[in-house]
Structure 1
Amino acid sequence: MTSNKTLRTDRRTYTKSLAAIGLGAAVAAAGGSYYYYSSKRRGEAAETEKPSTLRVRAWGGGWAEGLKEGVIQPFTEKYGIKVELDYTEDNVLQAKLREIIPAGGEPPVDVNWTTTTNAMREALWGFSSPIMEEDLTHLDELHEAAYPERIEGIEGLPYINVYSYTYSLAYDTEKVPEKPESWRILWEPEYRRSVAMYDDGIGFFAVLAKLSGAKIPDDMEPAWKLLRELKPNIAFVGEDPDLTQGFVERQVALECTIPTNALEARRAGAPVAWTVPEEGVTMENDAMYVPRNLPRNRDYWAKKFIDMAISPEGQSKWCEYLGCPPVNRNAEIPDYMRGDPAFPTSKEDYDKMLIIPYKILVEHEKDWFAKFEEIMG
């Protein structure tokens, strides 16, 4: 099995956040409304002629291997439809869809597996074929985190969030012998040049807003002021491999990172743990959707593929391979995830997550990335 470090490195550039504040401001601004379906169905969608293959956009490396093992193999065994993976980068495919779909052309993929921020952006452009309750058989088994925010004028679901991951507070247990209770430990003078995080600030904006009282998205200045005060304690900013090595080489004491990186450092012999501080942590998702303008039979079977991806069977194997918490309540939870809110799998865990609606992220996050880089530059 490919290591989780390899998994995350293969697509780190494209995981841009499902942030969160817990202050209520952003949620209120977006209406806080989500799609919920009753368990009463109108009947199953009528089966159509099977295509010989489906085309699914994917990340490469371990991400593709996990999809093959957990979803593609059981899908092909059940329906006899082969699946071809398209490794076009998220943003390159997005540019193609902007040309093809408005012109009425057929998209190059049947299923787009992408970040939820991209899925929301493309849904707002009207690129997704709505998923109705009769299209999927596992909707009633999903955690709330699987459901997208409501988009005015769209019936059904524009996409499905297929798993979660968090940006937690990881720490060197020899340099920080007691588990930190608050993110405020990052600002303590004793940790000068001992803190690391992502080079665009991903996963940290919600924390800054929570600590500073910033109002997302209208007044972020308190967050930027707090970030400037943190700068003397920053040892480096980087990508996933850098954050793992930061612990392995004992360069840092504290990081804002995904637990996978801390786990990789621990496997390499570093004394590392992670926690969800009292303020909470940012949680993100990746998503799947079916693009518009497909022939009817391809649209139908593409949604069947997504149904397999959110099934207990698919989620159990796929999410364990990726090291990401599943969104199906009936999926098997790996032992190392149980009881750890850094791997949210229950309502109690989700209550500790900080969430900025994706519609706000679509509009503002690129500016936040630029501001973070300006301050840290």
Structure 2
Amino acid sequence: MTNMLYRPNRRALLRGTAAAGAAALMGTLPGRLMAQDAPAKPAEIIVRAWGGSWVEALKKGVSDPFTAATGIQVRHDLTEDNEIQPKVWAAVAQGRVPPIHINWDTTTNATKSALRGVTEDLSDLSNLAGTTDLAKPVGLDGYPIVNTYGYVYVLAYRPEAFPDGAPTSWKAMLDPKFRGRIALYNDGIGFHFPAQVAGGGKLEDIPANMQAAWDFIAQVKEQQPLLGEDPDFTAWFQNGEIDLACTISTNAREAKKNGVDLAWTVPEEGAKFDTDGLWIPKGLPENELYWAKEYINFAISKDAQQVWCDGLGLPGVVPGLTPPADLVDDPSYPDTPEEMSHLIRISTKVQVENESEWFGKFKEIMQG
């Protein structure tokens, strides 16, 4: 494994078409993917994904070139990750074939599935040798999950709403002029930790004492924030319905690419840094398991990562990736220790043990 904070040399961006991606795929995995003794190919594999710009980036960087190289169609199931989780768990427990081949999941959710024993081991993927430490799930044996990139829950804002410059604190959400024009995820994900600091608490008190976070969230609740998921954030910004949001930078960037005057920042309290990953549920037929693994193996190749992560605007898990031109030295694309020092990272184990309670507390406050 190489250092997670490897700073890549600047070079020309790789813009792969499906055909070019297919060639890269065949070159990346000559020993397995094109092996003469490879098992029979299924007609399709099903990958659970998030919608909007998220699935478009996956399609361009991974799914389309995989199909071009193998002939296997990739169907994207856009069921939300929290909704499909119990369906997968039930299928494995009952000995049924799971409803998907691959889950594109938050690392925290994926860790819950790994601890439940429903995930296949991915330690034999050949491309793991070329990944950074970020690819390894922390606190788990082997690779029941492969992390695929990191991301930051930034404070996104409309510059026209801040004529004096970017907001420096999450406390900007408390300004009465933004009443009804703030957005948060409907379970508060990404907001709990900076709220702890903004409310006067300490990160080291998480999870034992988070009253400061709940008090700050209660103040924000009085501002009547909009609550939603990734596609909602993009639409709200595009429609001019919000001025501030705690959101993954990908959503803000997508709105900006579509012509919305938008910017984002990491406030003085910090911002949550986390990872997503790919995993395979147990119970697939042997040949389908083989090709599902090949899909993930390609997803962590340099060629696929460059296109996929470029589309998401997120730092991947392979050294030497070129940041998108619009994100060079951007705090939402950390690739140095200095940039990482401004971000909040809480152990996956702590999140797994407490996330359901945090989500419930957030919803209780918002519905109160």
TM (norm. structure 1) is 0.74
Of 220, 226, 230, 1:237 maps to: 226
Structure 2: how far apart are the matches of 1:251 and 1:293?
44
Pair 1:308–1:220, CA change in 2 (3 A)? same
**5+ long unaligned stretches in structure 2:** 1-30
1:334 aligned residue? 324
1:210 to 2:200 alignment? no
Pair 1:268–1:162, CA change in 2 (3 A)? closer
Of 169, 175, 183, 2:155 maps to: 169
3-state SS in 2 of match to 1:167: strand
Of 145, 165, 176, 1:159 maps to: 145
Q: What fraction of aligned residue pairs are identical, expressed as a percent?
A: 37
CA drift of 1:368 comes to 2.0
Pair 1:189–1:121, CA change in 2 (3 A)? same
Structure 2: how far apart are the matches of 1:286 and 1:118?
9
1:186 to 2:173 alignment? yes
1:51 aligned residue? 40
The answer (yes or no) to whether the contact 2:53–2:254 under 8 Å persists in 1 is no
Where do residues 39-188 of structure 1 align in structure 2 (5 Å cutoff)? 49-53=38-42, 55-59=45-49, 62-78=53-69, 80-85=70-75, 87=77, 89=79, 90-132=81-123, 135-151=124-140, 154=141, 156-176=142-162, 177-187=164-174
TM (norm. structure 2) is 0.75
Residue type at the aligned position of 1:282 = K
3-state SS in 1 of match to 2:98: coil
The answer (yes or no) to whether the contact 1:76–1:83 under 8 Å persists in 2 is yes
The answer (yes or no) to whether the contact 1:111–1:289 under 8 Å persists in 2 is yes
The answer (yes or no) to whether the contact 1:170–1:254 under 8 Å persists in 2 is yes
Structure 2: how far apart are the matches of 1:251 and 1:294?
44
CA drift of 1:347 comes to 4.4
- What is the aligned length? 327
1:241-292, CA deviations, whole angstroms, 9 ceiling, x for partnerless residues? 6545665666654332233443355456554321112332112332111222
CA drift of 1:93 comes to 3.9
Structure 1: how far apart are the matches of 2:259 and 2:92?
50
3-state SS in 2 of match to 1:256: strand
Structure 2: how far apart are the matches of 1:270 and 1:49?
48
Greater shift after overlay, 58-67 or 353-362? 58-67
CA drift of 1:236 comes to 2.4
1:287 aligned residue? 277
Residue type at the aligned position of 1:309 = A
3-state SS in 1 of match to 2:333: coil
Structure 2: how far apart are the matches of 1:213 and 1:288?
34
CA drift of 1:209 comes to 2.1
3-state SS in 2 of match to 1:51: coil
**5+ long unaligned stretches in structure 1:** 1-43
